[in-house]
C-alpha cells in the first residue's frame, strides 16, 4: 500500500450530507474525499481525485452514528424509513 500524506481526525473533516461524503482540503487545491458508506465498511483512506495523495482518517465506528442520523440511515448503512 502506498504511504499516506497525513493522518487526520474525523472531527477535522467536512461532512456533506447531500453527498454522504467527508472531505478535507488537499495541498493540490482539490479535496480528499471518502464516502460514509465506505467508512461504515471499515475504510479509512480518503483520496484526492486530482493527484496521488491520500490521507488516513482516524475514527472509531461509533463516531459515524451522528452522520448516519443526519442522512437518515442506521449504522449498518441502511436508509431508515420515517413515518
CATH numbers and ranges of domains, the chain: 6-71 (3.10.660.10)
Q: Output the nine-digit C-alpha cell for 15.
A: 461532512
More confident residue, 49 or 2: 49
What is the SS3 assignment for 5? Answer: coil
What nine digits make up the cell of 81?
424509513
| Average pLDDT along the chain | 89
Record the pTM: 0.84
* pLDDT for residue 14: 97
**Each residue of 46-74: pLDDT tens digit?**
999 999 899 999 999 999 999 999 998 86
Return the C-alpha cell found at 29. Answer: 487545491
Q: Strands 54-58 and 6-9, how do they pair?
A: parallel
How far is residue 60 from each of residues 18, 23, 34, 47, 76, measured CA to CA in Å?
22, 17, 15, 19, 14
HSE-up of residue 1 (Cα within 13 Å, Cβ side)? 8
Evaluate if residue 21 carries a pLDDT over 50.
yes
Average pLDDT (14-22) is 96
Amino acid at each position: 500500500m502506498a504511504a499516506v500524506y497525513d493522518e487526520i481526525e474525523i472531527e477535522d473533516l467536512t461532512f456533506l450530507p447531500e453527498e454522504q461524503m467527508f472531505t478535507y482540503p488537499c495541498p493540490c487545491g482539490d479535496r480528499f474525499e471518502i464516502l460514509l458508506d465506505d467508512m461504515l465498511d471499515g475504510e479509512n483512506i480518503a483520496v484526492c481525485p486530482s493527484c496521488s495523495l491520500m490521507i488516513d482518517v482516524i475514527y472509531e465506528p461509533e463516531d459515524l452514528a451522528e452522520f448516519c442520523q443526519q442522512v437518515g440511515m442506521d449504522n449498518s448503512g441502511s436508509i431508515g424509513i420515517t413515518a
